[in-house]
Amino acid sequence: MKRRWLIGAGVAASAAGITLALRQRQNNQQPNLANLHPFWSLSVDRPDGTTFATQTLLGQPLLLNFWATWCPPCVKEFAELDRFAVQFKPKGWAVLGLALDSSEKVGAFLAKQPVSFLIGIAGMAGSDLVRSLGNKNGVLPFSVMFNSAGQPTWHKIGTTDLQELTQQAQSMPP
């Protein structure tokens, strides 16, 4: 009888240990959004009327670009961002363009100049987000790179190009 009790207690302890280990592993794989920039908690509208959660981009490096259709330097750098997106997607990178503009204007712009990366609509409320990421004056365009853990590692106020983006991406620690 004593032996059965000891075996039962051993099995229960093993099961508890395995459960605890699995929970710990699961918690380590899912970043705690409370420790990350509020950007990672957003639900963003897309020009086609759908929405997506920015947290779905966690776990991969991200180039985030703030732009507007009425901003000539933003429009000028769009081709460079698209080239970066195409070149770095196979390397695990995501690119998100957040427009400080209306959905209608962005949709019309993208009909003329389509891109291969994800576009979201931040509207004018996006200027607060821009400021919270280090662009105190809200100047556009504005780009931010995040590592796969969701931490910002680089930002640029003003236009960028493929060469600069490539250099920054390649210097980012894994």
Yes or no: say if 118 and 97 are a contact pair by the CB < 8 Å rule. Answer: yes
Maximal C-alpha separation, the chain: 83
Computed over every residue of the chain, the mean pLDDT equals 85
Question: pLDDT (tens digit, 9 = 90+) per residue, 122-163?
Answer: 988 899 999 999 999 999 999 999 999 999 999 999 999 999
Give the amino acid at 34: A
Q: Report pLDDT for 1.
A: 54
DSSP state of 146: E
User: Angle CA(166)–CA(162)–CA(153) in degrees, nearest 5?
Assistant: 45
Q: How confident is the model at residue 33 (pLDDT cuts 50, 70, 90)?
A: low
Closest CA to 116 of 75, 80, 160: 80
pTM: 0.81
Q: Which of 4-8, 17-21, 49-53 has the highest mean pLDDT?
A: 49-53
Question: pLDDT (tens digit, 9 = 90+) per residue, 67-97?
Answer: 999 999 999 999 999 999 999 999 999 999 9
The residue behind tokens 């920039």 is: 37
Integer distance in angstroms from the first to the last C-alpha of the chain? 55
